[in-house]
Amino acid sequence: MEQSFRQGVLLGEETCNFSRTLWLGRWCGDSFYAFLQMLAFAHLRVVGAQNIVNVAVTCCCSETFRKDFQMLDAVFVVGTGRSGTHFTCRALAGFENISDPLNGHENGNVLYKIANSAIYHKEYPIDAVKYYSERKGEYFGKSIFLDQHHPNLFFTEDISRIFLKPVFLYPSRPVVQVVASMLQHKGVLAWYDVARRSFGWKNLGKSIPLPNRFLGVENKQQLFDMELHKLCALRVLAHYQKMKSLSYSDINCRFVKYEALISDQEEEFGRVFSKAEMKSLGTFNIVEVGNAVSLNKYSSVLSARQIDDIAELEQNWNDSRALADI
What CATH number did the domain enclosing 213 receive?
3.40.50
- What pLDDT, on the 0 to 100 scale, is given for residue 321? 75
Reported pTM: 0.82
172 beta partners: 257
Average pLDDT over residues 252-277: 97
Please write the tens of the pLDDT for every residue from 191-218.
999 999 999 988 777 899 999 999 999 9
Q: In the listed set 61, 87, 102, which residue is the last one of a domain according to the structure?
A: 61
- Say how many domains are in the chain: 2
155 and 277 inside one domain: yes
Q: Is the pLDDT of residue 65 over 70?
A: no
Residues 127 and 231 grouped into a single domain: yes
Last residue of a domain, one of 61, 80, 100: 61
Whether 66 and 87 map to the same domain: the answer is yes
Asked if 2 and 81 sit in the same domain, the reply is: no
Considering the domain architecture, whether residues 269 and 170 belong to the same structural domain is answered as yes
Contacting residues for 145 by C-beta, under 8 A, at least 6 apart:
73, 74, 75, 98, 99, 101, 135, 136, 139, 163
Task: Give the amino acid at 66.
Answer: R
Residues 268 and 257: beta-carbon distance below 8 Å: yes
Query: What is the tens place of the pLDDT at every residue in 67-91?
Result: 445 579 999 999 999 999 999 999 9
Same domain, 111 and 133: yes
Q: Do both 300 and 162 map to the same domain?
A: yes
Q: From CA 145, how far away is CA 133, in angstroms rounded?
A: 12
- Report the alpha-carbon distance of residue 183 to residue 267 in Å, rounded: 31
For residue 66, the model assigns a pLDDT of 45
Q: Does 261 or 45 have the greater pLDDT score? A: 261
Domain residue limits at 243 = 62-325
pLDDT in tens, 115-154: 999 999 999 999 999 999 999 999 988 899 999 999 999 9
Q: Are residues 57 and 69 in the same domain?
A: no
* 51, 80: one domain: no
274 with 169, same domain: the answer is: yes
Distance CA 69, CA 59 (A): 10
**Residues 4, 73: one domain?**
no
| Residue 46 and residue 137 share a domain | no
Q: Which of 14, 43, 61 is the last residue of a domain?
A: 61
With b for 16 or more beta-carbon neighbours within 10 A and e for fewer, the 57-72 pattern comes to ebbeeeeebbebbbbb
